[in-house]
Amino acid sequence: MGCSLSAEAPDRRPEQEEEEDALPVSLSAESREAIRSSWREIQEDISRVGVIMFVRLFETHPECKDAFFTFRDLNDVNTLRASKELKAHGLRIMYIIEKTVARIDQDDRLDQLILDLGRKHYQYKALPKYYDLMGEEFIHAIHPVLQERWTSDLEEAWKTLFLYITRTMKKGYQQAQRSHSSS
């Protein structure tokens, strides 16, 4: 059990791929520091990054829009970009990332925050198969903000953090699903 970021990640063989979700995710002290300092720059642009993430998500996977009552019927990209609801939703995601970065060294508090988020997504009917896409879109959106400060190590660090977030959200989702089916 446990989803902590600081746990040692064991070597993984390809045939263990199906057990991927059971493996812990780890981030070195250097990677944590790289995330913290890049976040300070991303923070200045959070509402724009949030909107870019969602517009691209909906362009590449329009079916994700069905989960959102407020913009499921908006099909035009410019209308989506200008939508206040989409901006507000993008900001909610960015605030959770802000909290994640703030708790990056406090495994238990971080696990609780993200497990709870996964449980809420069960109520929102947002399927786990789409969570990984959000990490890809986040990385795509922050790249131009960081420009020449972007490095492959930083990219790996953010990918690892999102791997942790999505795996932990999936666990929270499954917990809510189990308690719903046993009640």
Q: Which is nearer to ligand HEM, 13 or 84 (CB)?
A: 84
Give residue 125's region: left, alpha or beta (phi > 0; psi -120 to 50): left
- Shortest reach from residue 69's CB to ligand HEM, in Å: 8
Decide: helix, strand or coil at residue 2: coil
CB of 133 to ligand HEM, least distance (A): 6
Q: How far apart are CA 31 and CA 35, in angstroms?
A: 6
Q: Under 8 Å CB-to-CB from 23, ≥6 apart: which residues?
A: 9, 10, 12, 16
**Interface pattern 153-182 for ligand HEM (x via CB under 6 A):** ------------xx----------------
In this complex, which beta carbon is closest to ligand HEM, that of residue 147 or of residue 176?
Answer: 176
Provide the angle, in degrees to the nearest 10, between the axes of the packed helices 46-60 and 131-146: 130
Using the rule CB under 6 A, is 115 a contact of ligand HEM? Answer: no
Chain residues that interact with ligand HEM, rule: CB under 6 A: 64, 67-68, 89, 92-93, 96, 117, 120-121, 124, 126, 130-131, 134-135, 165-166
